[in-house]
A and B are shown apart, each in its own frame.
Chain A
Amino acid sequence: MSALHLLASGSGDEFEAPGLHIFDWGPIFKDGPAWLEWFTKPTLIVILAALVVIVFSWRAFGNPKLVPKGVQNVGEVAYLLVRDQVARPMLGKDGDRWMPFLFSTFFFVLFMNLAGVVPVLQLPATSHIAIPIVLALAVYLMMLFLGIKNQGLVGYFKNIMFPPGLPKALYLILAPIELLSTIILRPFTHAIRLFANMFAGHLLIAFFATVAWWFLAEKLTPLGAGVGLVGFLMTIVMTAFEIFVQSLQAFIFTLLAASYINSSLHADH
């Protein structure tokens, strides 16, 4: 299934907006063996993103010099960005110890997101909900484990449900809400936030691209050309906006992961 084939899929006489089918990619090797069925475009993007992070980190930090040169320069700027904007403000003096995890999470998510604007790939892998779910689940399990390890099983839930210094009657309402929001809603919103942003963004770009393709190439009429031109310009504008949103969502995902880890390391309140 090529991009052109997808864009022209509304082959009737009326314009058809792209729907959920633009996320539906079959196996890359259509007639390949059955054990290769998992190898679809999203999986390919995940593998590529992981490889890019590994190779980049290897080249940048594998053989560090006192005076940085070449890739190490870029690597150090990237490292400082995560350390000074995420790790240290969120985790304080524990921040540097968590840098390997936060650095790789940030760039893994960032590259998977940016695949949405890379020509040929043009699909953010995180717009498939399975991938944010796995990432959020990893952070969630780590949060539970660290919380129980550092505060004790009873102490952890006591700190969540009964933050000290409030009138007694308030705990009747507060305890269930806090429990619900920390244990159930946290991993849910953590995954949904990343997924929905990428999903909506990809749908928007695809919509404007389809408008441009339909009105400028498929059914070129004097009246429709204006609409097609607007669609074409909006595709460019939305692509720029998507690059911003993709970076911001990768950043926010890492920021929240750090904040969840911090809430387990120390009882805040």
Chain B
Amino acid sequence: MLAASTNVLAEVSGNLGSVAYGLAAIGPGIGVGIIFGQGVQAIARQPELTNVIRQNMLLGFALTEALALIGFVVPFVHK
């Protein structure tokens, strides 16, 4: 109905919270992919350091993942 009266190029409809979560998941998705990709590569190159690498991998994963989770929680908090 909005598109009929004014010239709207693109309109977002539906639940904005889910759209926001989708946007928030892009960056962390790339980040988590890089972390585990490089982590597995590092383990393949130096299997004797597996424990140290895995632990740092999880630490980096946790820090990156927080962004996506904030994107998931904010729509519930901010109505």
Q: Which residue of B lies closest to A251 (CB)?
A: B58
Assembled-state Cα–Cα distance A52/B30 (Å) = 39
Looking at the assembled complex, report how far the CB atom of B20 sits from the nearest CB atom of chain A, in whole angstroms: 14
Q: How distant is the Cα of A192 from the Cα of B76 in the complex, in angstroms?
A: 13
- A255, B62: Cβ atoms under 8 Å? yes
Indicate which residue in A193, A195, A199, A251 contacts B65 across the interface (CB closer than 8 Å). A193
Interface residues on B, range: 10 to 19
Does the CB pair B66–A192 fall under 8 Å?
Answer: yes
**B55 adjacent to A89 (CB under 8 Å):** yes
Complex Cα spacing A85 to B56, Å: 11
CB of A193 within 8 A of CB of B73, answer no
B69 proximity list for chain A (CB < 8 A): 192-193, 196-197, 200
Indicate if B44 sits at the interface (CB-CB under 8 A): no
Residue of A nearest to B61 (CB): A252
SS class, residues of chain A in contact with chain B: helix
CB distance from B38 to the nearest CB of A (A): 19
| Residues of chain B contacted by A193 (CB below 8 angstroms) | 62, 65-66, 69
Give per-residue flags for A235-269: 1 if the beta carbon is below 8 A from chain B beta carbons, else 0: 00000000000001001100110010000000000
**B residues near A192, Cβ cutoff 8 Å:** 66, 69-70, 73
* CB closest chain-B residue, reference A195: B73
- Whether B70 contacts A252 by the Cβ 8 Å rule is no
Within 8 A of A (CB), among B24-79: 51-52, 55, 58-59, 61-63, 65-66, 69-70, 72-73, 76
Residues of B within 8 A of A4 (CB): none
Q: In the complex, what residue of chain B is closest to A197 when comparing beta carbons? A: B69
How many inter-chain residue pairs (CB < 8 Å) link A and B?
40
Q: Are A196 and B72 neighbours in the complex by a CB distance under 8 Å?
A: yes
Look across to chain A and name the residue whose beta carbon is closest to the beta carbon of B58: A252
Q: Decide if A259 touches B51 in the complex (CB within 8 Å).
A: no
Chain A neighbourhood of B59, CB < 8 A: 252, 255-256, 259
Contacts of B63 in A (CB 8 A): 189
A89 to B54, CA, bound (A): 11
User: Are A196 and B73 closer than 8 Å at their CB atoms?
Assistant: yes
| Set of chain B residues within 8 Å of A195, measured between Cβ atoms | 73
Say whether A170 faces chain B, with CB atoms less than 8 Å apart: no
Report how far A119 CA is from B72 CA in the complex, Å.
27
**In the complex, which of the residues A85, A89, A199 contacts B73, with contact meaning CB atoms closer than 8 Å?**
A199
Asked whether any CB of chain B lies closer than 8 Å to the CB of A223, the reply is no
What's the Cα separation between A237 and B72 when bound, in Å?
22
CB of A20 within 8 Å of the partner chain:
yes
CA–CA, A259 to B55, complex, Å?
11
List B residues at the A interface (Cβ < 8 Å): 51-52, 55, 58-59, 61-63, 65-66, 69-70, 72-73, 76
A residues in contact (CB < 8 Å) with B: 20, 85, 89-90, 189, 192-193, 195-197, 199-200, 248, 251-252, 255-256, 259
A-B contact sample (15 more), CB < 8 A, given A89-B55, A200-B69: A85-B51, A85-B55, A89-B51, A89-B52, A90-B55, A189-B63, A189-B70, A193-B62, A193-B66, A196-B70, A197-B69, A248-B58, A252-B62, A255-B59, A255-B62
